[in-house]
Every structure is written in C-alpha cells, then in structure tokens.
Amino acid sequence: MNFALTDDQRMIRDAAEGFLAEASSSAAVRAAMGSADGVDAGLWQRIAREMGWCATHIAEAHGGLGLGVVELVLLQEQMGRRLACVPFFSCVCLAATALQQAASAAAQALWLPRIADGSLRATLALSARGVQRDADAIGATARRTAEGWQLDGRFEHVPDGASAELMFVAARVAEADEIGLFAVAGAQGGVTRAPLQTWDETRRLATLELRGVQLQPLDRVDVGADMHDALERTSALAALLLAAEQLGGAQQCLDLTLAYVAERTQFGQPIAAFQAVKHRCAEMMVRIEATRSAVYGAAALATAAQATHELLMEAGAAKAQASEAFFFCAQEAIQLHGGVGFTWEYDPHLYFKRAQAGGHWLGCATQWRERIARALLD
C-alpha cells in the first residue's frame, strides 16, 4: 500500500497548517479557554463556512466534499497541533462518523447537511464510562412507548456535551437484545447536562443524564442492522482521528522545544548544542515519525474500506503509539523548558494536560495492545 500523500492532500495539510497557525494562536486558545463554553466561536464559523472542513468526509449527496479518512486525519493533525478550541472532534469526527456508519438514509439526509455547513453542533454519547466503546457499558436504556421511545441513563465525559445542540445517544433496547442510536436535542425535557471541571480546559466535557426523555419514533436513527459492527467501526475511526490529533500535539511539543533550546543559553552557548539535549530531541522526533507512519498507514487502510476487525487492529495500534508518543513529547517539552515549562505563560503544560486526558479516551495503550494480542492469538 502506498502511504505517500497526493498533491491535493499535501495542499490540504499545508493550508490547514498555515490557517490554524494564525487563527488558533496561543493567545486565541487561552482566550477561548476563558469563555463560557470553551469554544472559539469565530474560529468555528471560519472553519465551517470559510474553510469547509466540516464537510470533509461527508458524502456530496449530503452537502459534503466526499473526501476520505486521510484528508480528515490531516486536518485533525493540525487541530491537535494548535489545540483548536472548536467542537470539530465531537461534531465531525464523532457524530458525523456515527451517522455515516450506523444511521438510515433518511437520518443522514436530515442531519449530515447541517453538520457539513456548520449550522449544527452535535456530539456522540457512546458509553456510561465516557468516551469509550464498551458493549457492556452502554449508558442508556430505551423502552418503547405509545408515542415512540423513552430514554433513561447517564453518560460521563461527553465531549462538548454541555454546548452541543444535538446528541446522538447509544442505548440498549429493553425489549430486544440490540443497541439503538437515538437523536436527543440538548433542550429536550428530561435532559440534564452538567459541565465538568477538568484540567484540560482546551476541550470541555460534560455529564449527560437522561430521565424519562420522550422521543418520537423517527428519533431512532439507526438502520436496525448490525449496530455492534457499526459502533465498532465508528469507535475505530474515532480512535484513529484522536491519534491524528495526538500526533499533531506531539509535533508541536517538539517544535516549541526546539525553538526554546535554540535561544536559551548556558555557559555562553545555546543549550541546543549540548549532546544530552540533542539526544532527547532526537528521541522525540523518532517517536513522532513512528507515530506518523502508523496513523497515515491506518488512514490509508480505512480509506480502502477494509473489514472492521482489520481496521480496529490498525487504528488501535496507531492510537496506542500516538498516546504514548504525545505523553512522552509533552513531558520532555516541560523538562527541556526547565523551570518555565511549568508556568502558565508557556504552552507545554497545555499539551501535557491534553496528552494526559486524551490518552485514556477510546482505549488506552494497554487496552488496545491487549485487544490486538487477543485477536492475533485467536
């Protein structure tokens, strides 16, 4: 398989890099962190309306660009590099992906155009335990009623859960041994959304509680087929896209460190000249390049529409590699910045917090390696 980017893909990557370097600067990120919902509303509108990124992997029939996973990975990499405070991951990578993998044609026609043009902010609630994919920990139960459906349950750590206008909720159907996907409006009666105080302020999370939420029949959006496979594929793609974000964060940690050690002097010379510093920066680069190969390779395989179990293994390997590389690079960035690496004025601590938080989403490195090992041994 050829992992080389095409000219169009390189142009997408370069355009995203240049745009976000200006639009999601350190000052802009810190300003968004202090806002009520943690979102840079101006940047989100530019991304949706001016850049058209929300439409990247949505089919042209639904107002999208009809591009693939590789292009979305390239955008996510740059989002992670700049800690963009926008609901791109929750809305485009989670909600839109779940719709395309699991929803009926009617549901896709209803919701995907609004996600593509940026007029709808949506998110996905997968598991009671947060941003995970655990068939034994579905956070809600759905019961049939005379009017349609009633949902009850609770979800932890829903990304942008307090500000999303629409939430797609995975629920176990009480009368049958199956899982359904339901569209729940944020303003729906019986819905309680509690923002969480987390240490990664660049991405807001919330607890979602559903108590007797009454839905119409059409609010169940899945096709009623093999939802287990559809949600497995959704979680695999989400893990891959999160890995791409972590790759971008790791790259920025290296870039920040290289800039700092080139200007910080000791004993009359830049500390970048010291052999120990060179070795540590080189180790960061090696881990980043290994992660980039894993992420791009998994994206190429996902675009080739491989079987779900193959995609899970490739995406899981990429996520495990990216989580560890990002944490390592963020930790090294703080160490090589010396005392100022711990201060609010410098950015490494923001990346360290994002690395810590994201490392446990959609499976940590240990969980993915155990899953891959079981699959290979079986």
pLDDT tens digits, residue range 266-313?
Answer: 888 999 999 999 999 999 999 999 999 999 999 999 988 678 889 999
Smallest CA-to-CA distance from 216 within 136, 162, 150 is with 150
Instruction: Give the architecture (CATH level 2) of 7-120.
Output: Orthogonal Bundle (1.10)
- 292 close to 213: Cβ distance less than 8 angstroms: no
* Number of CB atoms found within 10 A of residue 6's CB: 11
CB 53 within 8 A of CB 38: no
What is the Cα Rg of the chain in Å?
Answer: 21
Q: What percent of the chain has pLDDT over 90?
A: 79
String of DSSP letters for 316-331: HHHHHHHHHHHHHHHH
Question: The tokens 């949902």 sit on which residue?
Answer: 151
End-to-end C-alpha distance for the chain, whole angstroms:
26
H helices within the chain, ranges in order? Answer: 7-23, 26-33, 41-45, 69-82, 88, 97-102, 105-116, 227-263, 275-303, 308-336, 348-358, 365-377
- Report, as an integer, the average pLDDT of 2-7: 83
What residues does CATH 1.10.540.10 cover in the chain? 7-120
pLDDT confidence of residue 286: 98
As beta bridge partners, residue 140 has 153, 171
Mean pLDDT of 224-248: 91
Asked whether residue 178 carries a pLDDT value surpassing 70, the answer given is yes
Task: Tell me which of 137 and 195 has the higher pLDDT.
Answer: 195
Per-residue confidence band for 174, with pLDDT thresholds at 50, 70 and 90: confident
pLDDT of 1 strictly over 70: no
How does residue 323 score in pLDDT terms, banded at 50, 70 and 90?
A: very high
Measured CA distances, 47 to 24, 92, 116, 119, 230 (Å): 11, 12, 11, 12, 28
pLDDT of residue 128: 81
User: In the structure, what pLDDT confidence band is assigned to residue 133 with cuts at 50, 70 and 90?
Assistant: low
Determine the 3-state secondary structure of 48 from DSSP: helix
Q: Which range is most confident: 84-93, 124-133, 352-361?
A: 84-93
Write out the two tokens for 301: 């395989």
Q: Which two tokens stand for residue 353?
A: 């917090």
Question: 83-106 burial, b if ≥16 CB within 10 A, otherwise e?
Answer: bbbbbbbbbbbbbbbbbbbbbbee
Q: What is the DSSP letter of 131?
A: S
- For position 134, what pLDDT does the model report? 64
Determine the Cα–Cα distance for residues 277 and 257; give it in Å rounded to an integer: 10
pLDDT at 227: 84
Query: In the CATH hierarchy, which top-level class contains the domain 123-219?
Result: mainly beta
Q: Which two tokens stand for residue 190?
A: 């019986």
Q: Per CATH, the architecture of 227-377 is what?
A: Up-down Bundle (1.20)
CA atoms of 131 and 164, how far apart (whole Å): 15
Q: Per-residue pLDDT tens for 193-222?
A: 999 988 899 999 999 999 999 999 999 999
Per-residue pLDDT at 224 exceeds 90: no
Comparing CA positions, the residue from 11, 13, 17 lying closest to residue 252 is 17
Give me the pLDDT at residue 2, please: 65
Answer yes or no: are the C-beta atoms of 310 and 301 closer than 8 Å: yes
**Region(s) of the chain under CATH 1.20.140.10:** 227-377
The 10s digit of each residue's pLDDT in 12-36 is: 999 999 999 999 999 999 999 999 9
Residue 127 backbone phi and psi in degrees, to 5: -140, 150
Average the pLDDT over 241-250 and give the result: 98
Closest CA to 208 of 156, 282, 268: 156
Predicted confidence (pLDDT) per residue in 74-128, tens digit: 999 999 999 999 999 999 999 999 999 999 999 999 999 999 999 999 999 988 8
Say how far apart CA 184 and CA 212 lie, in whole Å. 12
Task: Write out the two tokens for 310.
Answer: 């193959």
Tokens of 331: 């930790």
Q: How confident is the model at residue 135 (pLDDT cuts 50, 70, 90)?
A: low
The fraction of the chain above a pLDDT of 70, given in percent, is 97
* Mean pLDDT for all residues in the chain: 93
Q: Please say if the pLDDT value at position 349 is more than 90.
A: yes
Q: Please, where in the chain does CATH 2.40.110.10 lie?
A: 123-219
Interhelix angle 275-303/227-263, nearest 10 degrees: 150
